[in-house]
Structure 1
């Protein structure tokens, strides 16, 4: 009987030692875990402009996202009736409206490292430099306004901005057909150099 008690005590002591060693090993392996989390950048293009009555001014594109982006803009001018319906007749520059393009619009398709607005053959205006998160482009339109009043119709100047990540450069090439050289974007081939809308 004494032998059994001694064997039981030794077995119990061994179990306690194993439990302590196993618990220590489990704790050591649990604290050795490292979790890596990576955030994904966002592109959020927007229009920044001033509106004073019927005069739109200082029109720029901005990147409200968290990743650098190339931006492009489309400028549409059309008539709308009092009910808000778009009319077919196109307004004529100089007669129906006056526009002064911004100081950052390239006159001959040339650009600087800071960027410039260049009109592509596809009708879009391209800002040639990458825009940092929460940054903005140069000025696309200085002012635009309706000339006089027109019975039952009003001029609408619609500026839409699109953006795409600037890295890798292949993204803008695949999506928009542009090329990037030394960090500057060139609109799709056949661009209308020096042509203003």
Structure 2
């Protein structure tokens, strides 16, 4: 009996199976080598790379009152931005009476009339400088050029007048920060109540 055709077909099929097994084994080996190389590289980078420190520093917003006072007259009343970012500045003037020892006493005291400097606007008891002030700078015009305090009162309470200048600063941007903290919207020469839209 002749089996030549059958044997030749049968013999040809076997080498193909071996060839596909070799290709599969080669592919699997190649994937294993790549995976080990990538894993080793990642492990090396994680253990050998120096950490990067975050050097973020938040801004400082602060201010300081600057004034001349000779015992009866306040002059050149202004505010210096002592922070490190542009800021809006506002001032509240508080007046009261003191006795000879500087202790608070009764009686009313009224702030004498004055004209605020250029770009200073009074709104709800505060004086706002309506331009942002750069770090280390002060408003271009003093809030008060000159104001004379009452040296002695001739009523039953007596005493003399004191005016305290209380200043605050807030970063000039974003506008929502000013609005939500101070309740105002500031623009050059104008201060209005803050409203959300």
Q: Does the C-alpha gap of structure 1 residues 51 and 30 become closer, same or farther in structure 2, counting only changes over 3 Å?
A: farther
Structure 2 Cα separation of the partners of residues 63 and 87 of structure 1: 33
| 1:57 corresponding residue in structure 2 | 75
In the alignment of these two chains, the number of paired residues is 149
Structure 2: gaps of 5 or more residues: 1-39
Structure 2 Cα separation of the partners of residues 31 and 169 of structure 1: 42
| 1:139 corresponding residue in structure 2 | 142
| 1:101 corresponding residue in structure 2 | 115
Give secondary structure in 2 for the equivalent of 1:126.
Answer: strand
1:124 aligns with 2:146: no
| 1:167 corresponding residue in structure 2 | 173
Q: CA RMSD, aligned part only? A: 2.8
Structure 1 Cα separation of the partners of residues 75 and 174 of structure 2: 33
Q: Does the C-alpha gap of structure 1 residues 124 and 172 become closer, same or farther in structure 2, counting only changes over 3 Å?
A: same
Q: Does the C-alpha gap of structure 1 residues 132 and 89 become closer, same or farther in structure 2, counting only changes over 3 Å?
A: same
| 1:46 corresponding residue in structure 2 | 64
Q: Answer whether contact 1:99 1:145 (CA < 8 A) is retained.
A: no
Q: Answer whether contact 1:99 1:141 (CA < 8 A) is retained.
A: no
Q: Does the C-alpha gap of structure 1 residues 75 and 30 become closer, same or farther in structure 2, counting only changes over 3 Å?
A: same
TM-score (norm 2): 0.64
Q: CA deviation at 1:180?
A: 4.0
Greater RCO, CA 8 A, separation 6+? 1
Give secondary structure in 1 for the equivalent of 2:181.
Answer: helix
- Per residue, is there more helix in 1 or in 2? 2
TM-score (norm 1): 0.64
Q: Does the C-alpha gap of structure 1 residues 139 and 31 become closer, same or farther in structure 2, counting only changes over 3 Å?
A: same
Q: CA deviation at 1:90?
A: 2.0
Structure of larger gyration radius: 2
Structure 1 Cα separation of the partners of residues 53 and 59 of structure 2: 20
Q: Answer whether contact 2:64 2:79 (CA < 8 A) is retained.
A: yes
Q: CA deviation at 1:177?
A: 1.3
